[in-house]
Structure 1
Amino acid sequence: MPRIMGLDVGDKTIGVAASDPLGWTAQGIETIQRIGIKKDLQRLEEIIKGYEIEMIVVGLPKNMNGSLGPQSEKVLEFVERLKKRFNLEVALWDERLSTVAAERDLIKADVSRKKRKEVIDKMAAVYILQGYLDGRSK
């Protein structure tokens, strides 16, 4: 069964999640420390092959009023690079509250600030992908 990858793309890191083989749940895989676009894409390619990914969902950071800001432009440029490099469908998902929700859950789980910083992007990727999976099944 093909899997779907979820990405939370930031300037310094990329949070990565993947669906289970049935496409019901999202699991966090890792947080990639960004060194350069070539290295970023190389690591994503390893994950895509390893997990047999057939589609990518990328969180699009919109402003609260729904408009696109400078970070959105960076994400859209990154999406173009993804499409060129991998012959996969890439979908955008409104990620406005994913990092907020991830942070809230980590605080609820009493995760230390240092540990939260390490896993927040991966968790945000899980929220992005889970939102997409849930939206698709309705």
Structure 2
Amino acid sequence: MKFCKPQPKSILSLDIGTKRIGLAYCDPLCITSNILPAVKRFENNQEIKIIRNYINEFNLTGFIVGIPLDEKGQMTTQAIDCKNYGKLLSNELKLPFSYVNEHSSTWESSERFGIKKDKSGLIDSFSAKIILEQWIEEGPELEEIAGKRQIKY
């Protein structure tokens, strides 16, 4: 699926794992991207408060969620979890969002930034940065409300 380069805007990128969520954001012109500390996932979604604080602190206007599709572009168990979390987050934050295929972003982070055997979450946030850079180049545009015309994988 080919998309057009999106309009520049300051957004948050999430690399959602089972234990942590890697975070990165870009400036309103999409010129620079920066990592944020990864946040731990909690059973009751307490991490949403932390994510909301970052959104307010950096005046972010939307977010993207990496979806880890397999080599054939098919949904994985983790991709389903990420998709559901994106919808939950959009409903909680009332922000537009979109999904980005993040196949191999952790491997690319490890290779590109030389991070091996990381338990701090640094590799997760660098993966979020890679997802963000991919979105800046390829899109898609963010959608206004969870569940509305989102990418169908």
Sort the TM-score into its range (normalised by shorter chain).
0.7 to 0.9
Structure 1: where are the runs of 5+ without partners?
Answer: none
As a proportion of its length, which structure holds more helix?
A: 1
Aligned to 1:6: 13
SS at match of 1:53: coil
Aligned to 2:35: 28
User: How much has 1:24 moved relative to structure 2?
Assistant: 2.1
Q: Do structure 1's residue 103 and structure 2's residue 110 form an aligned pair?
A: yes
Query: How do 1:95-134 and structure 2 match up within 5 A?
Result: 95-107=102-114, 113=116, 116-118=118-120, 119-134=122-137
Structure 2: where are the runs of 5+ without partners?
Answer: 1-7, 140-153
Aligned to 1:63: 70
Q: Which runs of 4+ in 1 moved over 2 A?
A: 35-38
63-72 or 37-46, which deviates more: 37-46
2:65–2:83: 8 Å Cα contact kept in structure 1?
Answer: no
Q: How many Å separate the matches in 2 of 1:91 and 1:24?
A: 19
Query: Under a length normalisation based on structure 2, what TM-score does the superposition of the two structures give?
Result: 0.79
Which of 59, 72, 75 is residue 79 of structure 2 equivalent to?
72
* Count of matched residue pairs: 131
Query: Under a length normalisation based on structure 1, what TM-score does the superposition of the two structures give?
Result: 0.87
The alignment-based identity, stated in percent, is 24
Give the alignment's Cα RMSD to 1 decimal.
Answer: 1.7
1:24–1:133: 8 Å Cα contact kept in structure 2?
Answer: no
